[in-house]
C-alpha cells in the first residue's frame, strides 16, 4: 500500500492509470525493482505488478531502472482490449463513446445532484460521496437497503440537505411531517455506475451497457412526504397515542347517597 505523495516512488499518469516506480530501482535483476500499474480510480488499493526492471534483459533489449515503456505498453494493451470488447457488443451505438472514455480511460466517477449538492458515485467505497463537504458521512448504500424499491429499481430515502447525509426520523414517535428533512429518490448503484458495478463484481466492463446505456450525471427527484409511507405511519402513531391516553385516564366514580 503506497500513497501518491510517497517519497520513495516516481509517479506518472497515463490513460486513466497511475504508474508507480520505486526510486531505488537499478539496472539488472533485483527483487526490489518494482513497476506497479493502478487504475486511477482504484489507487492505491488494487495494483498490477508489471514485472521487475530486468524485463528488457532478454535478447538485444536494454535494461533500464524505471521501465515506463513496459508499463505504458501494458496499459495500451488493456485499453485496447476494453475498446475491442465494447465495439464487439451489439447495440454499441447506445453507449456514449465520450462518456465511456471519461469513465474507463480517464477514471471519472459518475455524479448525482441531490437537492443542489453534488455526490460522487463511489461503488468501491459503497457510498454516494459528497463533493466539497469532508465533514459529511455521505450516503452509504448498505445503510439504505430497506429503502430500495425492486420495481422502481430506485432508493427513496429521508435526507438532510444541511448535513448532506441520509437521516432517519424517529419512526416510533413521529407525529408530523419532518421540516428539516426531505424525501429524495435516485437509481440503484448498478444503474448509477454500471461500469463500476461490473468492475467491482468481476463482470466485463461493457456488460449491460447495450441495454441501459451509459450516463455520468444524474439528478435525484424530490418526493413530497405526502406520497410516502410516512403519512400512514403518522396516522398510526397519533391513533396509538389517543388509545394510550384513554387507557391511562382514571375512571370517574359516580357519587350516590350514603346509607
Please give the order of strands across the beta sheet that includes 47-51.
9-14, 17-22, 35-39, 47-51
Inter-residue contact 51 to 70 (CB < 8 Å): yes
C-alpha 81/C-alpha 201 separation (Å) is 19
C-alpha 136/C-alpha 115 separation (Å) is 15
**CA distance between the termini of the chain:** 94
* Peptide bond preceding 130 in cis form (omega within 30 of 0): no
Question: Containing H/E element for 11?
Answer: strand 9-14
Inter-residue contact 99 to 217 (CB < 8 Å): no
Question: Which CA distances in Å does 10 have to 4, 29, 163?
Answer: 9, 19, 38
C-alpha 30/C-alpha 242 separation (Å) is 79
Residue of higher predicted confidence among 39 and 3: 39
Look up cell 459503497; give the residue. 126
Question: Containing H/E element for 155?
Answer: strand 154-160
C-alpha 9/C-alpha 23 separation (Å) is 5
C-alpha cell at 32: 526490489
C-alpha 10/C-alpha 133 separation (Å) is 30
Encode pLDDT of 88-139 as tens digits. Answer: 554 444 467 888 899 998 989 999 999 999 999 999 999 999 998 889 999 9
Given a cut of 90, is residue 65 above it in pLDDT? no
**Residue 248 — pLDDT band, cuts 50, 70, 90?**
confident
Encode pLDDT of 143-195 as tens digits. Answer: 999 999 989 999 999 999 999 999 999 999 999 999 999 999 999 999 999 99
C-alpha cell at 251: 375512571
Q: What are phi and psi of 119, to 5 degrees?
A: -120, 140
Inter-residue contact 188 to 77 (CB < 8 Å): no
What mean pLDDT do residues 194-222 have?
A: 89
Amino acid at each position: 500500500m503506497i500513497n501518491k505523495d510517497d517519497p520513495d516512488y516516481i509517479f506518472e499518469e497515463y490513460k486513466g492509470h497511475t504508474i508507480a516506480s520505486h526510486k531505488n530501482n537499478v539496472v539488472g535483476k533485483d527483487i526490489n525493482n518494482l513497476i506497479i500499474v493502478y487504475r486511477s480510480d482504484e489507487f492505491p488499493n488494487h495494483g498490477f505488478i508489471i514485472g521487475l526492471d530486468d524485463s528488457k534483459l532478454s535478447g538485444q533489449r536494454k535494461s533500464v531502472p524505471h521501465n515506463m515503456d513496459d508499463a505504458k505498453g501494458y496499459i495500451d494493451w488493456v485499453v485496447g482490449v476494453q475498446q475491442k470488447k465494447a465495439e464487439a457488443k451489439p447495440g454499441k451505438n447506445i453507449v456514449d463513446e465520450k462518456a465511456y472514455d471519461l469513465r474507463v480511460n480517464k477514471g471519472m466517477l459518475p455524479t448525482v445532484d441531490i437537492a443542489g449538492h453534488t455526490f460522487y458515485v463511489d461503488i468501491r467505497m459503497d457510498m454516494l460521496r459528497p463533493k466539497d463537504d469532508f465533514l459529511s458521512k455521505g450516503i452509504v448504500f448498505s445503510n439504505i437497503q430497506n429503502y430500495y424499491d425492486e420495481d422502481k429499481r430506485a432508493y427513496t430515502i429521508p435526507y438532510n440537505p444541511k448535513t448532506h447525509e441520509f437521516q432517519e426520523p424517529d419512526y416510533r414517535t413521529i407525529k408530523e411531517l419532518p421540516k428539516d428533512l426531505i424525501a429524495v429518490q435516485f437509481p440503484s448503484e448498478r444503474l448509477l455506475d454500471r461500469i463500476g458495478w461490473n468492475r467491482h463484481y468481476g463482470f466485463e466492463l461493457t456488460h449491460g451497457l447495450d441495454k441501459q446505456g451509459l450516463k455520468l450525471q444524474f439528478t435525484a427527484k424530490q418526493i413530497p412526504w405526502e406520497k410516502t409511507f410516512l403519512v400512514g405511519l403518522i396516522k398510526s402513531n397519533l391513533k396509538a397515542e389517543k388509545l394510550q391516553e384513554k387507557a391511562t385516564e382514571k375512571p370517574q366514580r359516580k357519587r350516590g347517597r350514603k346509607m
